[in-house]
Chain A
């Protein structure tokens, strides 16, 4: 084996990756959104844990502990040889908070996808990001036949703070999704700048 053989593909070049989180209720179109812009067909990665571990029951009292698989879908956009952006969808079931913590760690920010037919599904993700101080934007996914609310009505119904961007989107459209992601990054940059100006430490997710 030739150990002196220099391999530029991996040796010392730094490759930076970043991620944006896509959240929302079950069936709201998270994977559709990721798939609309990802260069790869969205992949699924799974984490396994016991049903006892999701914080509902005391594990010692569960006979024959069963395992639960929590799946999350993600996509990838290679922006440069040394820069990759990943898009991670949160698991549909909001009770798997441990997985959310894993997903948002170090994230640029998040987009919360809202279906106007099931607007209350957005409460849990919104509360979560507000608590974790992760910069987020709200994107209203337009479904055919869904009630046509004014953005102002949605903002009021979901009690979205005035400084959080709220946009309309079509999760199937690449251009529309691109615009949502641009909004996430712009919002994250202005938040980061504002926090820096006030002397806050950089949030790490």
Chain B
């Protein structure tokens, strides 16, 4: 019995219908990772289905985080992540760098920019 314990995410059949049951994204995308869609990609997304088109429209010409996309579409985070990762692979969305992958110098520079940005508010 112990060995048959399933991944909790695997049991979420209904919310994952829009991803055809897939619960694992093609790539890891953090909550604050920023995505955008070009006008061309947004137009092209019309043929990619309702949900993807909605996401591309939200991101057209402006940077939106994974968390914002989930909030605006009212889709659960996990579902949104699967769709967004697919769209990055399909060239419908551009994934911009988020902080985690940085080395020391880059990270210090980023923190310095955030600090002066806050002070200027």
Contact = CB atoms under 8 A, between A and B. Distances in A.
A185 interface: yes
B111 A192 contact: yes
Contact of A52 (B8, B39, B76, B100): B8
Contact of B40 (A7, A58, A76, A205): A7
A76 B111 CA distance: 16
Would you call the interface of chain B mostly helix, strand, loop, or mixed?
helix
Contacts of A108: 99, 111, 114
Interface stretch (A11-19, A23-31, A117-125, A158-166): A11-19
Given A3-B40, A196-B104, A60 B4 contact: yes
A17 B33 contact: yes
Contacts of B112: 189
B26 interface: no
B11 A59 contact: yes
Contacts of A103: 31
Of the listed residues B30, B32, B94, the one surrounded by the most CB atoms of chain A closer than 10 A to its CB is: B32
Nearest to A78: B63
Interface in B12-60: 12, 15, 30-34, 36-41, 43-44, 59-60
A202 interface: yes
A19 B33 CA distance: 10
Contacts of A76: 65, 68
B8 A53 contact: yes
A48 B15 contact: yes
Interface in B82-97: 94, 96-97
A37 B117 CA distance: 13
Most A CB within 10 A of own CB, among B9, B31, B102, B110: B31
Interface stretch (A80-88, A126-134, A136-144, A148-156): A80-88
Contacts of B104: 192, 196, 202
Interface of B: 1, 4-6, 8-9, 11-12, 15, 30-34, 36-41, 43-44, 59-63, 65, 67-68, 70-72, 76-78, 94, 96-100, 102-104, 107-108, 110-115, 117-121
Given A18-B98, A202-B107, A204-B100, 11 more contacts: A3-B40, A7-B39, A10-B37, A17-B98, A18-B110, A37-B121, A47-B76, A67-B15, A77-B118, A106-B98, A182-B119
Query: Which A-B residue pairs are the 4 nearest by beta carbons?
Result: A53-B8, A106-B100, A79-B117, A7-B38
Interface of A: 1-3, 5, 7, 9-11, 14-19, 37, 43-50, 52-53, 58-60, 65, 67, 69, 74, 76-77, 79-80, 83-86, 88, 102-103, 105-106, 108, 174, 178, 181-182, 185-186, 188-189, 192-193, 196, 202, 204-205
